[in-house]
Structures are given as structure tokens and as C-alpha cells.
Amino acid sequence: MQWDQKQTKYYLLFARSDIRMITGNHDEAILSLLAGEGHPESYKHTREHHVWIADQLSLDHIVKLKQLPRIIEKEVNGFKIIGIHYHIELSKRNAHIKDKPFYSILEPTLENMEKMYKDYPADIICFGHNHPEHFFHNEQQVYLNPGALGVSKGNTAPYGIIDFTKSKPTVQIKHATYDKEAFIQKFNTLQVPQREIMLKLFYLKN
């Protein structure tokens, strides 16, 4: 674990050598602010929140976030896997976050997953961005988004497990319990900017 002297924080994920991560839209928006490259107009409702988060990050954390790729590819027992935050058209694979590289969010249906990912050279596509659970498949591909691990309106944190020990991979979506009430209380304790809209959009049921 690494100690951040600016804040009492441990960067548990970055301290591990057996975890691979990709960047997402909010990571990129915050890094854009830190680099003096502006902030996406479509994210203006979260700008104050992003500025606050940027101020909490240590230099070491910023460096590690900058190193995250948008896409990771891996092959396990002959099965190809791609991890991406959400679909990005080929012409936008290197576009700046201000240029809206990520595809517009679609409803979680097999038809929509095929529309976005059918041309991806992989048997399994793992993604996020849209927080509801997605687990769809056809004869050629599996589309997996177990939901948002840390940004959920439910009382558990969902995650997915892909088992490659059998002739064909199997997928399980599981849920970890945690003290959500204490977690939400932290928003007030830390005086997180725009916490009311953050809680309404991502954490509290309507």
C-alpha cells in the first residue's frame, strides 16, 4: 500500500501487481482539468465535483491515472477478451475527452450490445459506464457489465467473475455487502461539493 501524505489514503488497487485497469470518462475529465486542457461541456453539472476530486489527488496518483489505457486486450485459453469503459468508434479511439469519444449510452439489451460491439475482435467484451447490470450473449460474443462497483443505488457492490477452467467460459455476477449508510455519510463529513446531485443521480433510489 502507498501512503499519500496530502490525505490519509491508501491506494489499494494501484499497490497491487495482479490488477489491470482502464480509464473512464470521469478519470479523463479530471485529468483534463489538471492538465489545464479544460472540462467537457457536457459534464458541466459535475465540474465543481471534479475540481474537488482533482484537488485531493497526490502527484503519484495522477501519474498512475495518466498511465491507464482506454482499452486492454487479453487471451485466456484461446478466448479473446477486451476491456473498455464503453464503446468508442474507431475514428474517436484517440479523441480527447472534450470531443466526446464515448458512445451515447444505450438501453441494456442484446440488440444494442450487438450494435456497439459486434465488430470488436473478441469473444468477451467487458465494459462499464452505464451503471445497470448487463449480461448478454449470442453465439459469437458475451457482453458483460456487472454494474458499478462503487456507484450503485442498491445496497451491495456488484462485480463479475469469468471462469475459464471449463471448455467454455462461464460468467457469474456477485454482490458484496458494505455499510452504505456510513459511506453516504462521508459525503457530508467531507463536505463533498455537489453531493446532493451526486447522491440523487448515482446512490439513492428515487
Q: Which 3 state secondary structure label does DSSP give 11?
A: coil
Domains in the chain, number: 2
Torsions phi, psi of 74, nearest 5?
-150, 150
| Cα–Cα nearest to 137, from 128, 148, 129, 145 | 145
User: Would you give the DSSP letter of residue 74?
Assistant: E
Same domain flag for 65 and 78: no
pLDDT of amino acid 198: 86
Q: Are residue 173 and residue 130 in the same domain, yes or no?
A: yes
* 128, burial (CB in 10 Å: exposed 0-12, middle 13-18, buried 19+): buried
Same-domain check for residues 42 and 90: no
- Report d(CA 4, CA 59) in Å as an integer: 9
The reported pLDDT for the residue numbered 155 is: 87
Final residue in a domain of this structure, among 51, 69, 87: 69
pLDDT of 120 above 70: yes
Strands 134-137 and 142-145 come out as: antiparallel
Q: In the predicted model, is pLDDT for residue 37 greater than 50?
A: yes
Residues 88 and 155 in one domain: yes
Residue 7 is predicted with a pLDDT of: 45
Q: Say whether 134 sits in a helix, a strand or coil.
A: strand
Confidence of residue 11 (pLDDT cuts 50, 70, 90): low
Q: Are 33 and 54 in contact (CB under 8 A)?
A: yes
Domain boundary, last residue among 69, 99, 125: 69
CA-to-CA distance for 84 and 125, rounded, in angstroms? Answer: 8
Render pLDDT for 66-93 as a digit per residue (tens, 0 to 9): 999 999 999 999 999 999 999 999 999 9
Q: What count of other Cβ atoms lies within 10 Å of the Cβ of residue 144?
A: 22
Whether residue 10 contacts residue 3, with contact meaning beta carbons closer than 8 Å, is answered with: yes
Q: Round to whole Å and give the CA distance between 152 and 147.
A: 8
CATH number, domain with residue 92: 3.60.21.10
Question: What cell was used for 118?
Answer: 459486434
Q: What is the pLDDT of residue 151?
A: 83
The DSSP code for 103 is: P
Positions of E strands within 96-169: 124-126, 134-137, 142-145, 156-163
When the pLDDT of each residue in the chain is averaged and rounded to a whole number, the result is: 90
CA distance 133 to 173: 9
Sort strands 9-10 and 71-76 into parallel, antiparallel or unpaired: unpaired
Question: Of 16, 42, 69, which one is at a domain's C-terminal end?
Answer: 69
Q: Is the whole model's pTM more than 0.85, yes or no?
A: yes
